[in-house]
Amino acid sequence: MTRMEAFRGRWLKVRHTMSTMASTTDFSLTATPGRQLPVAVRAEGCRIWTADGREFIDACGGAMVMSVGHCHPRLIEALKRQADEVTFTYRFAFSNEPMLELADLLREISPMPRTWSFFNSSGSESVESAIHLALLYWQLLGQPGKTEFISRYPSYHGSTIAALGLSGTSRRDSFEALLTKNAVAQTPNADIRARRTPADEVEFAIKQLEDAIAARGADKIAGVFLEPITGASGAAVTPPDGYLQRVRELCTRHGLLMICDETITGFGRTGAWFGVEQWGVSPDVITFAKGVTSGVVPFSGMLVAGDVADVLMASPDGFPVGHTFSGYPLGCAVGAEMIRVIRDEGLLENARVMGERLRAGLETIAATTPHIGDIRGMGLLQGIEFVEDPESLAPRAGAAARVTAAARDRQLMIYSCPTALGSSVLEAVLLAPPLNITSTDVDQILDRLSDAIGAA
């Protein structure tokens, strides 16, 4: 059957399904044509209730978004309070109180010295801002030729064209014609089949970066983009100790900005405010999104180390690129309240303790099946990779989709990672429950997951 015939067959089926759907037909474009998704009508903590009366446990926060669960009352209150005061300011005309406050609070929790901030509405936008910032920084320092980036595969940095150009993911496939090929170095520990020791893995992955820099020339490269722990595209691929410190040293030596995309790992997910802290590293730029507002309002940002910000802020134009909603007061108010909630409720500590409990439970499940090749991650970001058998560690085709579907049937939501490594498709799923999860909920997640894996 040709691709066109296959498409036509699928299209006829979708058209038929759509014409027979009930009055709740969804006319928004979705990634699940012909399938009516459950309609969420209420959500609280790690639970979502649907219009047909079901109760789901959300163990992945949709796409690793829900840092303190759904509808945290203090965040909702902060949103309402701010909505009564100022809902919008345009960044060229006004500042606003929550923006000033959030930038101050971020200085307290940032792993970088004298941190400055810039705020946007999505992870992709903040990655774009970091790209803008890097090019402007080198122009101001008299090196306008530094316009390229090195990033890694697998990785995901967003769906806008420049951010997707940094990403090492199969999500690129249909848009390759427009994308820059930045993802040229392999992410350490992404290939469990290589069976390298941690020390060898560090050497291997650093050499990948060194080779990429040598091939292009450091005078052309503005920076290195990386996720401290590779999230959506790798199911919590965690670097060996020493790797991030070596990347820092390499960036300093070659004159490259070290830009950490903490869209998933930021705001407590690993048990520290930011993932890089787990290795005591201070990058030049950090981007964050998702967990900063736990889904209450779309919001994101970029942290910039003082000595980089100084260069920008000494120029007459400062940092002139952004988006209409950069510095959005509602997002800033919820983000500032998030920092207070994480502090007041001791959630970094809870993420560490509950992360250990979740990890121990996953290890127990893994001990009963030969099809789990790796459990990895930190804190409340834990990934599972499925394999055929412990000897070959070959990816078990279709396992991630089957386990995710079996979990959904048991009203447990987990994240299926669309993961590619070269021409191989990796089979992995990700768990990212809220930082304020209880031990009872962790145990319930583990029970349903174990059942789902058994069934799949």
Is 123 a binder of ligand PLP (CB under 6 A)? yes
- Contacts with ligand PLP by CB under 6 A: the residue count is 15
Contact 128, 160 (CB under 8 A): yes
Exactly one of 201, 227, 277, 284 binds ligand PLP (CB under 6 A); that residue is: 227
d(CA 325, CA 298): 10
CB atoms within 10 A of CB 76: 13
154 upstream amide cis, omega within 30 of 0: yes
How far is the CA of 147 from the CAs of 144, 224, 266, 280, in angstroms?
7, 11, 26, 28
Is 122 a binder of ligand PLP (CB under 6 A)? yes
Q: Which is nearer to ligand PLP, 432 or 435 (CB)?
A: 432
Interactions with ligand PLP, residue window 229-288 (CB under 6 A): 231-232, 261, 263-264
Q: Which residue is at the shortest CB distance from ligand PLP?
A: 123
| 3-state DSSP percent of the chain in helix, strand and coil, to 5 | 45, 20, 40
Give the position of tokens 């127990």.
364
Is 61 a binder of ligand PLP (CB under 6 A)? no
| Binding segment toward ligand PLP, per CB under 6 A, in 105-113, 150-158, 235-243, 393-401 | 150-158
Q: Which is nearer to ligand PLP, 164 or 365 (CB)?
A: 164
The least CB distance from residue 145 to ligand PLP, in Å, is 27
Q: Which is nearer to ligand PLP, 256 or 289 (CB)?
A: 289
Exactly one of 57, 68, 78, 127 binds ligand PLP (CB under 6 A); that residue is: 127
DSSP annotation string for 111-170: SSTT-EEEEESSHHHHHHHHHHHHHHHHHHTT-TT--EEEEEES----SSHHHHHH--SG
Tokens of 30: 């979705």
Interactions with ligand PLP, residue window 332-371 (CB under 6 A): none
Binding mask 289-318 for ligand PLP (x = CB under 6 A): x-----------------------------
Sequence length of the chain is 456
Exactly one of 67, 117, 120, 124 binds ligand PLP (CB under 6 A); that residue is: 124
416: exposed, middle or buried (C-beta count within 10 Å: 0-12, 13-18, 19+)? buried
Query: Residues in the site for ligand PLP, rule: CB under 6 A?
Result: 63, 122-124, 127, 156-158, 227, 231-232, 261, 263-264, 289
